[in-house]
Structure 1
Amino acid sequence: MVLSSFLTSLLSGAAAGTSTDLVFFPIDTLKTRLQAKGGFFANGGYHGIYRGLGSAIVASAPSASLFFISYDTMKVEARPYIEKLIQNTTKNDAPSTQLADTLTHMFSSSVGEVAACLVRVPAEVIKQRTQVHKTNSSLQTLKIILRNENGDGIRKNLYRGWSTTIMREIPFTCIQFPLYEFLKKKWKEADASDGPLNPVKGAISGSIAGGVAAATTTPLDFLKTRLMLNKTSIPVRHLVQNIYRDEGFKIFFSGIIPRTMWISAGGAIFLGVYEMTHYVIDTSHLLSTFP
């Protein structure tokens, strides 16, 4: 059963991550160029919108698989501890089921994001530098980073923006996944069904949750983009001060429309494919031979 759950999460995550990146990569490119210093047209405009696709595709399956393996595992393993924590904190023998659900999903998705970022951050650095025409291909960008021309070190260059990526992903996932799971739960209650949720309904739930989370966390995404595109390392506080002084407050919401549209539609595909893969495996019992 443990192996079955592991393989289900692995396959679901890989299918979800790859399909989403393939479909929505051009919108991600436009968003990156809107956020880059100098503006949209100075960083390529509508030309070469598939630049950097290679690094995204290489990383999408392992990063999404890491996320869902961690997320699905922690949903089961962390739930008893969270219920006990709520009981000890509230002195209540019967803690709120919804509160326990929400905290479990927040914690599990946060663990999943940290695991996924081990793969995602280097791929994002390579992808975004290629998107703004720093080079013509992901491989060329990687070679430049490995040459360490700025003297910051390969690790710092590959993981530039790690802290702001985590700062963006944790709030994002703490909004998206509890809302996603809540919408699924309410839909199942309305259907009065004990079976797996229809993947289309899962996709709609993912789209709504993704759109809300995307719009809310756009300033953090903007800072992550600027850090990754910067030639040298810079403290986040100094970056915020410099941007606010030179470009004003509104610039922090650059790319909010394409980001919200992209993640809302992407959430439908990402979580829809995840639900579809789960649905196919659960209904066909493909993994029933595993212990």
Structure 2
Amino acid sequence: MSNAAFVASLLAGAAAGTSTDLVFFPIDTLKTRLQAVGGFFANGGYHGIYRGLGSAVVASAPSASLFFVTYDGMKSLSRPTFDRLIPSNGQMAETATHMFSSSAGEIAACMVRVPAEVIKQRTQTHQSDSSLQTLKKLLRNQNGEGVRRNLYRGWSTTIMREIPFTCIQFPLYEYFKKRWAHAANRDQIAPWQGALCGCVAGGIAAATTTPLDLLKTRLMLSKKSVPVLNLARDIYKQEGWKVFLSGIGPRTLWISAGGAIFLGVYESAHSLLS
């Protein structure tokens, strides 16, 4: 990746992440409260839907930048390898490249995203008054598990959710863009067309991975660490299988519309900066 491409990915990713979080934060709050123990109204209902916005805004630019710098860099680095491994099928090699690169991007982004998500979701469910107070409580290590474990609670489940999500979203996104450009007999599509491709791809990925998102939310809101399989079993026994689809509407709406803005802003900013 050239220096110019690196800077373009860095700045375009920051613009995309910040704009999406600012616009769709209330829907994310509603989704979190639907998934929390006790249900929607017990965790705040429609009140204070911008609670936790500070932690989201602080983390959105660096996490999105990390994602796109890693994603764009790994695409150019890994494509020759996948072409050698799958020489007879160019489409399969391209899909494998996008899946691998987006997974690497998500792991990099989660270094920033997970602590911000822990702070944000605890604040959204009224477990504290502000993002700063939530951070102070975590740093005080009241449960004795250590600051790192408190800030990165739900790390494994977040990765477990993000990799399937991104392995669905980005290959679909790139495929839709390619097909649209081919149908229009052009090399590239316009940014607004990229936004529509991101909207559809994000909605499909969001709906499919909602059960993993619920597990991630419950882990982040838990006061102590809980093994994921034990948590899933307990939720199923106590609340039934339908609870794993809690928040599927707001999540799909938020990520569909958010995907349009996120990838639309990214495409616009990247083409401008490039």
Range into which the TM-score falls when normalised by the shorter chain: over 0.9
In structure 1, the partner of 2:93 is 100
Give the Cα separation in 1 of the matches to 2:228 and 2:254. Answer: 26
Give the gaps of 5 or more residues in structure 2: none
- Displacement, 1:197? 2.1
Partner-residue secondary structure (3-state), 2:86: helix
Give the Cα separation in 2 of the matches to 1:61 and 1:278. Answer: 15
What is the RMSD of the two structures over their aligned residues, measured on CA atoms?
Answer: 0.8
In structure 1, the partner of 2:168 is 175
In structure 1, the partner of 2:7 is 7
In structure 1, the partner of 2:236 is 244
* Deviations 1:62-96, CA, capped at 9 Å, x for gaps: 00000000000011000011111224xxxxxxx21
In structure 2, the partner of 1:38 is 38
Partner-residue secondary structure (3-state), 2:189: coil
- Displacement, 1:278? 1.6
- Displacement, 1:281? 2.4
In structure 1, the partner of 2:178 is 185
1:225 alignment partner AA: T
After superposition, residues 113-132 of structure 1 pair within 5 angstroms as 113-132=106-125
In structure 2, the partner of 1:286 is none
After superposition, residues 42-61 of structure 1 pair within 5 angstroms as 42-61=42-61
Q: Which of 251, 257, 260 lines up with 1:268 in the alignment? A: 260
After superposition, residues 1-291 of structure 1 pair within 5 angstroms as 2-87=2-87, 95-194=88-187, 196-282=188-274
- Displacement, 1:21? 0.1
Partner-residue secondary structure (3-state), 1:78: helix
Give the Cα separation in 1 of the matches to 2:63 and 2:271. Answer: 21
Partner-residue secondary structure (3-state), 1:141: helix
Q: TM-score, normalised by structure 1?
A: 0.93
Q: Give me the identity figure in percent.
A: 71
* Deviations 1:5-37, CA, capped at 9 Å, x for gaps: 100100110000000000000000000000000
Give the Cα separation in 2 of the matches to 1:186 and 1:238. Answer: 43
* Deviations 1:201-242, CA, capped at 9 Å, x for gaps: 000000000000000000000000000000100101110111
Structure label with greater radius of gyration: 1
Give the Cα separation in 2 of the matches to 1:114 and 1:265. Answer: 23
Give the Cα separation in 1 of the matches to 2:200 and 2:11. Answer: 24
Give the Cα separation in 2 of the matches to 1:55 and 1:76. Answer: 32
Give the count of matched residue pairs: 274
The 4+ residue runs of structure 1 with deviation greater than 4 A are none
Give the Cα separation in 1 of the matches to 2:9 and 2:90. Answer: 24
Q: TM-score, normalised by structure 2?
A: 0.99
Give the Cα separation in 2 of the matches to 1:18 and 1:233. Answer: 30
Give the gaps of 5 or more residues in structure 1: 88-94, 283-291
